[in-house]
């Protein structure tokens, strides 16, 4: 599959359903007010950036893949309140080696452990990381120094989330990080990192549901147990963390 075909499919999936866009706005609405700053780490084709902008937030969006970045630039490049950065995020500035899934670029990753865990796993057997590229890498501390403290950080980097959070030097009001059931250890490290920063509470969104599973926000230990209890077939989702749970 060509890069253009893969990106076209992503655009249809992530921009083709108005109901999905509304659900995203409802999900992120409690965390962002007009004028707030949001970071979109692993922006892909920018559907979360689009939601943040509909809510009135300014956005710094990071995406290391050239084809995805071209799509981001076409969609958001003329928006003065969106800063696009062609880079990955990690625990320190420099460079990282990105394993690219040309047919499904949304699961490209800087984690070799993630690629190894996916090999033959349920729901992942047809995925292929067919090439590698070296890309710039920034850390959240540097982004905060350059752009300010965000009200919300979305992190979706396929098994590299713990490395991104290792580069967060100070608490932010709210954030989300992706988890997968083939790499639950990464989610555990994310939870551990966050509770060393502040007294966060946590909630879960499964798959692409764009909604929280339960209205009650729980401790890191309770969230870890919830993630461990999920069947392998649950595949993926996002953990939300906040210092002030929405009422």
What are residue 96's DSSP bridge partners? 135
Q: What is the pLDDT of residue 7?
A: 85
Domains of the chain listed by start with CATH number: 3-95+102-107+134-242 (3.40.50.150)
Average pLDDT over residues 143-160: 98
Average pLDDT over residues 176-196: 98
Quote the CA–CA distance of 161 and 218 in Å, as a whole number. Answer: 20
Predicted confidence band of residue 58 (pLDDT cuts 50, 70, 90)? very high
Predicted confidence band of residue 1 (pLDDT cuts 50, 70, 90)? low
Question: Is residue 55 scored above 80 in pLDDT?
Answer: yes
Are the beta carbons of 81 and 73 closer than 8 angstroms? Answer: no
Phi-psi region of 83 (alpha: psi -120 to 50; beta: other; left: phi over 0): beta
pLDDT in tens, 127-143: 999 999 999 999 999 99
pLDDT in tens, 93-134: 999 999 999 999 999 999 999 999 999 898 898 999 999 999
Average pLDDT over residues 213-221: 95
Question: Is residue 218 scored above 90 in pLDDT?
Answer: yes
């Amino acid at each position: 599959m060509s890069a253009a075909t893969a990106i076209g499919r992503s655009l249809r999936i992530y921009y083709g359903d108005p109901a999905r866009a509304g659900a995203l706005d409802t999900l992120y609405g409690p965390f962002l007010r007009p004028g707030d700053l949001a970071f979109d780490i692993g922006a892909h084709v920018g559907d979360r950036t689009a939601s943040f902008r509909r809510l009135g937030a300014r956005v710094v969006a990071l995406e290391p893949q050239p084809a995805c970045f071209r799509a981001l630039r076409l969609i958001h490049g003329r928006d003065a309140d969106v800063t696009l950065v062609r880079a990955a995020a990690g625990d320190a500035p420099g460079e990282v080696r990105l394993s690219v899934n040309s047919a499904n670029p949304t699961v490209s990753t800087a984690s070799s452990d993630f690629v190894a865990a996916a090999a033959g796993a349920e729901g992942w057997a047809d995925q292929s990381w067919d090439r590698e590229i070296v890309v710039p890498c920034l850390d959240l501390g540097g982004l905060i120094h350059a752009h300010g403290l965000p009200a919300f950080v979305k992190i979706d980097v396929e098994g590299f989330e713990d490395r991104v959070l290792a580069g967060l030097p100070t608490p932010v009001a709210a954030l989300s990080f992706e988890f997968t059931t083939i790499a639950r250890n990464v989610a555990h490290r994310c939870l551990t990192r966050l509770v060393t920063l502040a007294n966060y509470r946590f909630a879960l969104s499964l798959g692409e549901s764009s909604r929280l599973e339960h209205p009650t926000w729980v401790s890191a230990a309770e969230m870890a147990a919830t993630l461990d209890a999920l069947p392998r077939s649950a595949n993926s989702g996002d953990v939300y963390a906040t210092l002030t749970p929405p009422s």
